[in-house]
Amino acid sequence: MTNNRAILYEHFSDVEQQRETSTTGIWVFVASEIMFFGALILAFSVYRFSYARAFSEGAQELNAVLGAVNTAVLFTSGLTMSLAAATNKMGAKFPTILLLLVSAILGAVFLAIKGFEYHEDWTKGLFPGEGFHWGGANSPQVQLFFILYFIMTGFHALHLLVGIGLILVIAWLVLRGWIHEEHFMPLEVAGIYWHFVDLVWIFLFTLLYLLGGKV
């Protein structure tokens, strides 16, 4: 333990090295996740070029209004997450907890809206599989669009769910006094992860909702 209440673990020589290691670790993780989502986005882009008409028809079935609302929700959660990191460094314990809880709630709102959108797709017969129903031409290619759509947005939702759990744990640690203005790296790491989830959604929203319907 150092003189400034920052927690120093045995395998680090000083607090600065510990912080740099934590930051490097989360960025390595984010880089691996970028490659994962990047592969999915690349696959979608290739098929989008190959089956332009079918993918355009599929994209036009998406609810762009709900997608835009979710974008605003996730943007706002990113802002409250940044504010939580700032208030924590100021030593404002309860505002930090409040902002963290707001971020988690907004994440849950995003998932609820996405769930409603999934249900809407299901009732329209757009869920891939035996129940998939497409009245027009190019049914296999349109189904491919929705396969990629559900895979990409589903994995994003899973990452967001993990992020919500992480934020709730961080809020509890702030409440217990384990995370504070001198020992803030866990919150900083959670913030980087959360912003990564935000960034992925921006790419997905643009690719699926905004560019998908344009031929």
Give the tens place of pLDDT for each residue, 135-152: 877 899 999 999 999 999
Q: What is the pLDDT of residue 4?
A: 43
Residue 50, Ramachandran bin (φ over 0: left; ψ between -120 and 50: alpha; else beta): alpha
pLDDT digits (tens, 9 = 90+) for 156-201: 999 999 999 999 999 999 999 888 887 778 898 899 999 999 999 9
Count CB atoms within 10 A of the CB of residue 195. 16
Identity of the residue numbered 214: K
DSSP percent split of the chain into helix, strand, coil, nearest 5: 75, 0, 25
Q: What is the pTM of this model?
A: 0.85
Task: List, in order of start, the domains of the chain with CATH numbers.
Answer: 27-210 (1.20.120.80)
